[in-house]
Chain A
Amino acid sequence: MERFSLLLIQSYEAVKAFKLRTFFCLVSVALGISAITIIVAATEGAYKKAFDIVASFGPDSVMLMGGSEESRAIGQREKTITLDDVEAIRQAFPTAYVVTPSSWVGTATVSYKGNRYQSQIVGSSSDYSIAWTWPVVEGSDFTEDDIRRYANVGIIGQETARELFGEQSPVGKFVQIRNLPVQIVGVLSERGTSPGGGSLDNRIIMPYTTVMKKLLNEQRYVNAMRLRFTDLENIDGRVEELKRLLRYRHRIPDGQPDDFRIFTSKDIVKFLVALTGSLVVFIGVVGVISLIVAGFVLANLFLLSVKERVKEIGIRRSVGARKKDILAQFLTEAVMITSAGGVVGFLLGVVSAQLLTYVAEFPVYFSWKAFVIGLVLSWAVGIGFGLHPARQAANLKPIEAIRT
């Protein structure tokens, strides 16, 4: 192995000696690799996020929202789903182990002893933590009984709890929502951010009956509902049945669009992939182009370098280097430089991806995979574009090289 290590040492000396060549090749490869690194990290991040979301949303879950696709586009959400619909659906789907209406107040000021905070208020049935796979970590969920009696109770998200109560336990205490005193009976676990970027932990969940009657003054309509099915394998069929049932109940004639929307975990993944996809394509094109440019920079600088080092090649040939030895030397130098470029590019990619996540909500996830892909690509550039100059060097006639 002494010989191989000597080859490495001598290549390293050459890489060090021809600083300008090394610098330009390294920078151009690093730029390309950093773009590739971001793509890999973004793709992995999107998949990981999608996986997380599917896991927390629940693959067996279906979300039903009032209002047509068109009304959503212009920023409205019509209420089209009634409590009667909810009851009918409960009757019609015996395999739905969760049927939860959802009634949204939007943002409201919540206060506790002079602390005030803007928080999302949501009305739900008593199985909220089961419906959303969102455990109550302290206290408990409110009950069926609370629903029936229009009780002024609620469970609170981590962020809201922190802002209003600090280190104290909120359980058993009363907060003021608009003018309504509400007793906190439970605290939800930390949930993080939604795919859209908002915090999920700033909310208070109350019985939908209480919300509709005392905060919204609403008799019939809810905003949305959520279902979970025990027969996960039939979920596509269930979604179709749900659609037909609602169209029939809402008396929508054939050819007219739905006045509601249905989401499954598949739709959420689609949304996320679309969100990340366009950026990935853009950076991908930039990355591939800059890698190709890096390759041409390398090829040109190495051709120049071969011309500069004709004498060295002559010396090496005269002391017994074969053509393939010269080829190996120049390729080793090229791969050494591009590998360094790959490592620098990876670090650059990590830094710029962090910046990207600040500017845009953009999930990135770095793993050894991104690093390995970057490194292998940098080798490919080194070998691919270093081959032509290395061949030129190897094919020099020893006698002509040494006499220059």
Chain B
Amino acid sequence: MSDPVCLMENITKSFHVGDQDLHVLKGVNLRIEQGEFTAIMGTSGSGKSTLMNLMGCLDVPTSGRFLLAGRDVMQLNDDELSELRNEHIGFVFQSFYLLPYATVLENVLVPTLYREKKKDRVRERAVELLTLVGLEERMKFRPTQLSGGEQQRVAICRALINDPELLLADEPTGQLDSRTAEEIMGVLTRTNERGKTVVVITHDADIAAYARRVIHIRDGIIKE
């Protein structure tokens, strides 16, 4: 068996609020293997957003052991964390988070701007990805000219452009109607079927149902 994409052992995360310590994660143990399609479910305040930020290396744990793509996240500095996000993680956000003044194609190419190990033919790869999600006609459009579903598909292409180990989707259908939500989950499912590890964070059981594995988080503790 190969190494896990993500390994968390006894992870805690606390925030200082005023003069109080707020313990959001209280010892999380989590192992995600390559090629898994996992949903992390929880209500608001359960700590699922914090968990998502840690998994995405946007923030670091207070204590515990955390390996992502074989690297010890606790030992990395800011530049190395950026590099890790760039090469190994693809983000899909609830509100899409596209750059409004850049075209669809430019949005997809943004992560390649920051890639240390250069890859050839990034433009061709971006066009390929956009064609896969049916946006080959929309490449010169601005995000505001697209529907919500189309914008989220662009965001998925952007997340995949650097071929990361882990695709991390935070409430990816939260701003979409149920039909569009189905489409997007279809895209994520097909991405997983092509071998990509996918983690979806959601509060919606219907969305979680697409995943083969569902993890519940409540009061900062994981329950599978």
Q: Which residues of B contact A399 (CB under 8 A)?
A: 53, 58-59
> With an 8 A cutoff between CB atoms, is B141 at the interface?
no
| CB-contact partner of B97 in A7, A18, A325, A402, under 8 A | A402
Q: Which residues of B contact A2 (CB under 8 A)?
A: 112, 118, 122-123
Q: Which residues of B contact A320 (CB under 8 A)?
A: 82-83, 85-87, 111, 114-115, 162
Interface extent on A, as a size class? Answer: 20 to 34
Q: In the complex, which of the residues B82, B115, B118, B158 has the most CB atoms of chain A within 10 Å of its own CB atom?
A: B82
> With an 8 A cutoff between CB atoms, is A316 at the interface?
yes
Bound CA span A286–B9, Å: 65
Minimum CB–CB distance for B75 against chain A, Å? 17
> With an 8 A cutoff between CB atoms, is A228 at the interface?
no
Q: Which residues of A contact B113 (CB under 8 A)?
A: 3, 6-7, 10, 321, 325
- Name which residue of chain B comes closest to A329, CB basis: B113
Contacting pair B110 A319 (CB below 8 A)? yes
- Interface bits A298-334 vs B (CB < 8 Å: 1, else 0): 0000000000000110111111111111000000000
- Name which residue of chain A comes closest to B87, CB basis: A320
> With an 8 A cutoff between CB atoms, is B78 at the interface?
yes
Q: In the complex, which of the residues B91, B109, B114 has the most CB atoms of chain A within 10 Å of its own CB atom?
A: B114
Minimum CB–CB distance for B15 against chain A, Å? 11
- Name which residue of chain B comes closest to A321, CB basis: B114
Contacting pair A315 B85 (CB below 8 A)? no
Q: In the complex, which of the residues A7, A10, A18 has the most CB atoms of chain B within 10 Å of its own CB atom?
A: A10
| CB-contact partner of B91 in A10, A318, A323, under 8 A | A318
Known: A6-B112, A312-B99, A399-B53. A323 touches B118 (CB 8 A): no
| CB-contact partner of B101 in A13, A314, A316, under 8 A | A13
> With an 8 A cutoff between CB atoms, is A9 at the interface?
yes
- Interface bits A6-29 vs B (CB < 8 Å: 1, else 0): 110110011011100000000000
Interface extent on B, as a size class? Answer: 20 to 34
Q: Which residues of A contact B56 (CB under 8 A)?
A: 318
| CB-contact partner of B58 in A18, A318, A325, under 8 A | A318
- Name which residue of chain A comes closest to B109, CB basis: A6
| CB-contact partner of A311 in B97, B111, B115, under 8 A | B97
Known: A320-B85, A321-B82, A398-B58. A14 touches B110 (CB 8 A): no
Bound CA span A56–B23, Å: 88
Known: A322-B83, A399-B58, A402-B97. A13 touches B114 (CB 8 A): no
| CB-contact partner of A9 in B58, B100, B106, B158, under 8 A | B106
Contacting pair B78 A323 (CB below 8 A)? yes
- Interface bits A379-404 vs B (CB < 8 Å: 1, else 0): 00000000000000000001100100
Interface residues of A in 254-311 (CB under 8 A from B): 311
Interface residues of B in 36-66 (CB under 8 A from A): 53, 56, 58-59
> With an 8 A cutoff between CB atoms, is B206 at the interface?
no
**Known contacts A16-B101, A321-B113, then 7 further A-B pairs from the complex at CB < 8 Å, ordered by chain A residue:** A9-B106, A311-B97, A312-B99, A316-B114, A321-B86, A323-B78, A399-B58
The 7 sampled A-B contact pairs (Cβ below 8 Å) are A6-B106, A10-B102, A14-B101, A317-B82, A319-B110, A322-B79, A399-B53
